[in-house]
Structure 1
Amino acid sequence: MRVALYEAANVMLTRLVNGSALKSWALAVANRAGMRNAKVALARKLAVVLHRMMRSGEQFLRASRTALSHAEEFDERISRRRNTAGHGTSPAGAKSLPGRWIPLGR
C-alpha cells in the first residue's frame, strides 16, 4: 500500500494534473523541503483522505466545489452526528473540532 501511495504522489507531482489543490499544496512543500519530502507528505495526505472516505463510507465526487469547503462540510456533519449520539462535550471555553478540542485564549 505504501508503494502505491508513493507512486500516486509521484505521478501527481511529475505529470500534468489540472486544478488540483493537493498538487498545489505539495509543490509548496517541495519548495520548502524538497521534492522527495513533498512526495512522502502527499502520499501521507492521500492515505488520510482515503482512510476518512473508508471510515465514513463517503463516495469520491469530482465536483466544482473546492476540497476545503467539502472537508468543512464533512467535519460539520461529523460534529452534528457526535453531538446527537450523546458523546461527551468539550470543556468550557474550548473550540469544538471533530475528535479533539483546543482551549481558546492561549
Structure 2
Amino acid sequence: MGGTLLVQVALAAAGCGEHHRADELTDRAAGIAAGLRGYDDTYRTSCGPIAVELARVVVAAASVAPAEVRCRPLARTLIAEVARGHAAPAGVARLATLVGLTR
C-alpha cells in the first residue's frame, strides 16, 4: 500500500475513533515517506515526511480533543491554511469541510 493511501486510511480511522489503528497506519506511512527522495514522487502524490507529520497532528488532535479541532480559532486557522495549500491531503480537505471551513 502506498504512503498516500496509508495517510488517507489513517485519517479515516481517526475520524471513526480508531486512534490506535490510525497511529499504526501513520507509522507505516512514515516508513515509506522516509525512503523517498525528492524525485521519487513521479505522480505528485505528496506523500513525504511533511504530509505524514501533518497527518500525525490531525490524528493526535482528533484522538485527544476532537471538539478542539472543530471549535478553536487557532486550530481552524491552521486547518484552513493547510487546506488552501496546493495539493492538500484529502484528509485535511475533509477535516476542513467537517469543521465548516469549505463548502
> What is the TM-score normalised by the length of structure 1?
0.24
Greater strand share, structure number: 1
> What is the TM-score normalised by the length of structure 2?
0.25
Greater helix share, structure number: 2
Structure of greater Rg: 1
Greater relative contact order structure (CA < 8 Å, 6+ sep)? 2
